[in-house]
Amino acid sequence: MMAMFKRLPILGALAAALSACGDGPATVTGSWRSPAAWSAMVYASGAGPLLVEVVGDPFAAGAGFATTVADALDNQVIGRVVRFTARRDLAARPGFRVIVAFDPPPAATARDLCAGKVGGGAPGGERIGVLAAFCDGEGEVLSSVSGWVAKAASPSDRRFRQLLAQVARALFGEAM
């Protein structure tokens, strides 16, 4: 009986943590990942930042939103320091890019994203969806991830930034 009482605080903490998961963030990697995704990222980011293109703005934050997304992706890849930029002129190899679409249409795919055929949804929803793809210089998908977060109040919201960190780690995985 005493052992059960010792476990109650642990179970309570676990229950609290699980209930918080209902608002995310959560991500799911795409069904296919190119074996060249890691080496392409190393090549694309070896001489400077990797380009990020942002589609949609769930907060109606305006012109600086793409830079906020790029900053949130910075240094989130495990096994390598990778910097990101929303400015094409600052990207080391702008043909390689990460495209992040917020609240894309339900039927949107990573292939559509790399081909430039995906638009973002209207701002203002309680739940923010994301579809991201790492695209090579010819518009082919190297890796992709989708995810969501609910009740994020602004681009600086901790959980929104956690979503983007998860996106970066899922796109590139670990060093091979």
For the chain, the domains span 28-172
pLDDT at 67: 97
Rounded to the nearest integer, the mean pLDDT of the chain is 87
Interval 13-28: pLDDT, tens: 333 343 445 898 999 9
pTM for the predicted model, two decimal places: 0.85
Place of tokens 């949609």: 56
pLDDT at 174: 61
Interval 53-97: pLDDT, tens: 999 999 999 989 999 999 999 999 999 999 999 999 999 999 999
pLDDT at 129: 96
| Exposure class string for 142-168: b at 16+ Cβ within 10 A, else e | bbbbbbbbeebeebeeebbbbbbbbbb
